[in-house]
Amino acid sequence: MQSLLKLSRAIDAFTTFVGRWVSWLIVIAVIISATNAIIRKVFDVSSNAYLELQWVLFSAVFLLCAPWTLLNGEHIKIDIINHGLPLKVRSWIDMIGHVFFLVPFCIVLIWTSVPFFIVSFNQNEQSFSAGGLPQWPAKSLIMIGLALLLVQAISEIIKRAAVMQGLLPDPNAHALSAHEIAELEALKLAQAITPEKP
Protein backbone atom coordinates (compact mmCIF):
# COMPACT_ATOMS: atom_id res chain seq x y z
CA MET A 1 0.00 0.00 0.00
CA GLN A 2 2.90 2.37 0.70
CA SER A 3 4.06 2.17 -2.93
CA LEU A 4 0.53 3.01 -4.07
CA LEU A 5 0.44 5.98 -1.68
CA LYS A 6 3.77 7.14 -3.12
CA LEU A 7 2.23 6.92 -6.61
CA SER A 8 -0.81 8.84 -5.34
CA ARG A 9 1.40 11.63 -3.93
CA ALA A 10 3.22 11.90 -7.28
CA ILE A 11 -0.11 12.12 -9.14
CA ASP A 12 -1.35 14.77 -6.70
CA ALA A 13 1.82 16.82 -7.15
CA PHE A 14 1.53 16.64 -10.94
CA THR A 15 -2.18 17.54 -10.82
CA THR A 16 -1.44 20.54 -8.60
CA PHE A 17 1.36 21.69 -10.91
CA VAL A 18 -0.86 21.45 -14.02
CA GLY A 19 -3.84 23.06 -12.28
CA ARG A 20 -1.88 26.04 -10.99
CA TRP A 21 -0.30 26.77 -14.35
CA VAL A 22 -3.38 26.17 -16.48
CA SER A 23 -5.50 28.40 -14.22
CA TRP A 24 -3.43 31.37 -15.46
CA LEU A 25 -5.14 30.95 -18.83
CA ILE A 26 -8.13 32.71 -17.26
CA VAL A 27 -6.03 35.89 -17.02
CA ILE A 28 -4.99 35.54 -20.66
CA ALA A 29 -8.63 34.98 -21.70
CA VAL A 30 -9.71 38.12 -19.82
CA ILE A 31 -6.94 40.18 -21.48
CA ILE A 32 -7.89 38.87 -24.94
CA SER A 33 -11.58 39.51 -24.27
CA ALA A 34 -10.98 43.07 -23.04
CA THR A 35 -8.60 43.87 -25.92
CA ASN A 36 -11.03 42.44 -28.47
CA ALA A 37 -13.92 44.47 -27.01
CA ILE A 38 -11.89 47.70 -26.99
CA ILE A 39 -10.67 47.22 -30.59
CA ARG A 40 -14.20 46.39 -31.73
CA LYS A 41 -15.70 49.50 -30.09
CA VAL A 42 -12.91 51.97 -30.92
CA PHE A 43 -11.83 50.80 -34.39
CA ASP A 44 -14.96 48.87 -35.44
CA VAL A 45 -12.76 45.86 -36.26
CA SER A 46 -13.36 42.34 -35.00
CA SER A 47 -11.94 38.85 -35.45
CA ASN A 48 -13.59 35.49 -34.97
CA ALA A 49 -10.17 34.07 -34.09
CA TYR A 50 -10.03 36.14 -30.88
CA LEU A 51 -13.56 35.11 -29.98
CA GLU A 52 -12.83 31.42 -30.54
CA LEU A 53 -9.52 31.68 -28.70
CA GLN A 54 -11.44 32.80 -25.59
CA TRP A 55 -13.65 29.70 -25.87
CA VAL A 56 -10.61 27.42 -26.28
CA LEU A 57 -8.85 28.97 -23.27
CA PHE A 58 -11.98 28.58 -21.13
CA SER A 59 -12.31 24.96 -22.30
CA ALA A 60 -8.67 24.32 -21.42
CA VAL A 61 -9.17 25.67 -17.90
CA PHE A 62 -12.41 23.73 -17.42
CA LEU A 63 -11.03 20.40 -18.69
CA LEU A 64 -7.42 20.54 -17.51
CA CYS A 65 -8.22 21.92 -14.04
CA ALA A 66 -10.99 19.36 -13.36
CA PRO A 67 -8.46 16.93 -11.79
CA TRP A 68 -7.19 19.71 -9.50
CA THR A 69 -10.78 20.43 -8.48
CA LEU A 70 -11.27 16.73 -7.66
CA LEU A 71 -8.00 16.65 -5.69
CA ASN A 72 -9.11 19.58 -3.53
CA GLY A 73 -12.62 18.22 -2.98
CA GLU A 74 -14.17 21.26 -4.64
CA HIS A 75 -16.53 19.31 -6.88
CA ILE A 76 -20.24 19.52 -6.13
CA LYS A 77 -21.62 17.24 -3.44
CA ILE A 78 -25.00 17.26 -1.76
CA ASP A 79 -23.65 18.75 1.47
CA ILE A 80 -26.88 18.50 3.46
CA ILE A 81 -26.98 14.73 2.95
CA ASN A 82 -23.23 14.07 2.76
CA HIS A 83 -22.25 15.79 6.02
CA GLY A 84 -25.12 14.22 7.92
CA LEU A 85 -23.69 10.75 7.31
CA PRO A 86 -21.02 8.98 9.35
CA LEU A 87 -17.46 9.19 8.01
CA LYS A 88 -17.37 5.48 7.19
CA VAL A 89 -20.50 5.81 5.04
CA ARG A 90 -19.06 8.89 3.31
CA SER A 91 -15.88 6.94 2.56
CA TRP A 92 -17.87 4.13 0.97
CA ILE A 93 -19.93 6.63 -1.07
CA ASP A 94 -16.71 8.24 -2.36
CA MET A 95 -15.16 4.87 -3.18
CA ILE A 96 -18.25 3.58 -5.00
CA GLY A 97 -18.64 6.88 -6.85
CA HIS A 98 -15.04 6.88 -8.04
CA VAL A 99 -14.84 3.19 -8.97
CA PHE A 100 -18.26 2.66 -10.55
CA PHE A 101 -19.07 6.10 -11.95
CA LEU A 102 -16.08 8.42 -12.37
CA VAL A 103 -13.57 5.88 -13.74
CA PRO A 104 -16.01 4.31 -16.29
CA PHE A 105 -17.17 7.81 -17.30
CA CYS A 106 -13.57 8.86 -18.00
CA ILE A 107 -12.79 5.65 -19.90
CA VAL A 108 -15.88 5.94 -22.14
CA LEU A 109 -15.19 9.60 -22.93
CA ILE A 110 -11.51 8.96 -23.67
CA TRP A 111 -12.48 5.99 -25.87
CA THR A 112 -14.91 8.14 -27.88
CA SER A 113 -12.88 11.38 -27.92
CA VAL A 114 -9.69 9.88 -29.40
CA PRO A 115 -11.27 9.04 -32.80
CA PHE A 116 -13.14 12.36 -32.63
CA PHE A 117 -9.77 14.15 -32.34
CA ILE A 118 -7.97 11.95 -34.92
CA VAL A 119 -10.59 12.60 -37.62
CA SER A 120 -10.44 16.34 -36.92
CA PHE A 121 -6.61 16.33 -36.97
CA ASN A 122 -6.37 14.30 -40.21
CA GLN A 123 -8.84 16.62 -41.94
CA ASN A 124 -7.14 19.70 -40.47
CA GLU A 125 -10.67 20.74 -39.50
CA GLN A 126 -11.19 24.49 -39.52
CA SER A 127 -13.79 26.71 -37.94
CA PHE A 128 -17.06 27.34 -39.78
CA SER A 129 -16.65 31.05 -38.97
CA ALA A 130 -14.61 33.24 -41.30
CA GLY A 131 -11.13 33.81 -39.88
CA GLY A 132 -11.72 31.24 -37.14
CA LEU A 133 -9.24 28.84 -35.60
CA PRO A 134 -8.47 25.20 -36.41
CA GLN A 135 -10.75 22.87 -34.46
CA TRP A 136 -8.46 19.93 -33.70
CA PRO A 137 -6.47 21.62 -30.86
CA ALA A 138 -9.71 22.30 -28.98
CA LYS A 139 -10.90 18.74 -29.58
CA SER A 140 -7.62 17.37 -28.21
CA LEU A 141 -8.41 19.03 -24.87
CA ILE A 142 -11.27 16.59 -24.30
CA MET A 143 -9.11 13.45 -24.35
CA ILE A 144 -6.22 15.14 -22.49
CA GLY A 145 -8.50 16.52 -19.78
CA LEU A 146 -10.31 13.22 -19.29
CA ALA A 147 -7.03 11.28 -19.20
CA LEU A 148 -5.76 13.57 -16.44
CA LEU A 149 -9.08 13.23 -14.60
CA LEU A 150 -8.84 9.42 -14.84
CA VAL A 151 -5.32 9.47 -13.38
CA GLN A 152 -6.49 11.71 -10.52
CA ALA A 153 -9.48 9.42 -9.92
CA ILE A 154 -7.03 6.53 -9.45
CA SER A 155 -5.13 8.63 -6.90
CA GLU A 156 -8.39 9.39 -5.06
CA ILE A 157 -9.27 5.67 -4.96
CA ILE A 158 -5.85 4.85 -3.50
CA LYS A 159 -6.21 7.55 -0.82
CA ARG A 160 -9.78 6.54 0.02
CA ALA A 161 -8.68 2.89 0.40
CA ALA A 162 -5.86 4.04 2.72
CA VAL A 163 -8.32 6.10 4.78
CA MET A 164 -10.66 3.11 5.09
CA GLN A 165 -7.73 0.98 6.31
CA GLY A 166 -6.69 3.63 8.83
CA LEU A 167 -3.40 4.39 7.06
CA LEU A 168 -4.32 8.02 6.34
CA PRO A 169 -6.37 10.55 8.29
CA ASP A 170 -9.72 11.30 6.69
CA PRO A 171 -9.45 14.71 4.97
CA ASN A 172 -13.22 15.12 5.30
CA ALA A 173 -13.32 14.43 9.04
CA HIS A 174 -13.26 18.08 10.05
CA ALA A 175 -14.56 19.63 6.85
CA LEU A 176 -17.53 21.94 7.12
CA SER A 177 -20.28 21.96 4.55
CA ALA A 178 -21.01 25.09 2.54
CA HIS A 179 -24.23 25.44 4.54
CA GLU A 180 -22.36 25.24 7.86
CA ILE A 181 -19.79 27.79 6.68
CA ALA A 182 -22.57 30.15 5.59
CA GLU A 183 -24.27 29.78 9.00
CA LEU A 184 -21.02 30.57 10.82
CA GLU A 185 -20.40 33.63 8.63
CA ALA A 186 -23.96 34.86 9.23
CA LEU A 187 -23.50 34.40 13.00
CA LYS A 188 -20.21 36.35 12.97
CA LEU A 189 -21.82 39.12 10.92
CA ALA A 190 -24.80 39.31 13.28
CA GLN A 191 -22.47 39.53 16.29
CA ALA A 192 -20.45 42.29 14.63
CA ILE A 193 -23.54 44.34 13.80
CA THR A 194 -25.36 43.91 17.11
CA PRO A 195 -24.29 46.69 19.52
CA GLU A 196 -23.14 45.64 22.95
CA LYS A 197 -25.54 46.33 25.82
CA PRO A 198 -24.30 48.89 28.39
pLDDT in tens, 45-81: 878 888 889 989 999 999 999 999 998 887 776 666 6
What percent of the chain shows pLDDT beyond 90?
A: 46
pTM: 0.80
The larger pLDDT score, comparing residue 152 to residue 177, is at: 152
Residues 15, 64: Cα–Cα separation, whole Å: 9
Find out whether 188 and 182 touch, Cβ atoms under 8 Å.
no
Q: What angle do CA 178, 181, 183 make, to 5 degrees?
A: 110
Give 171's pLDDT tier (boundaries 50, 70, 90).
low
Span 21-39, pLDDT tens digits: 999 999 999 999 899 889 8
Mean pLDDT of 107-120: 95
Give CA–CA dist 88/75, Å, rounded.
20
| CB-CB contact of 138 with 126 (8 Å) | no
Q: Is the pLDDT of residue 10 over 90?
A: yes
- Ramachandran class of 89: left when φ > 0, alpha when ψ lies in -120 to 50, beta otherwise: alpha
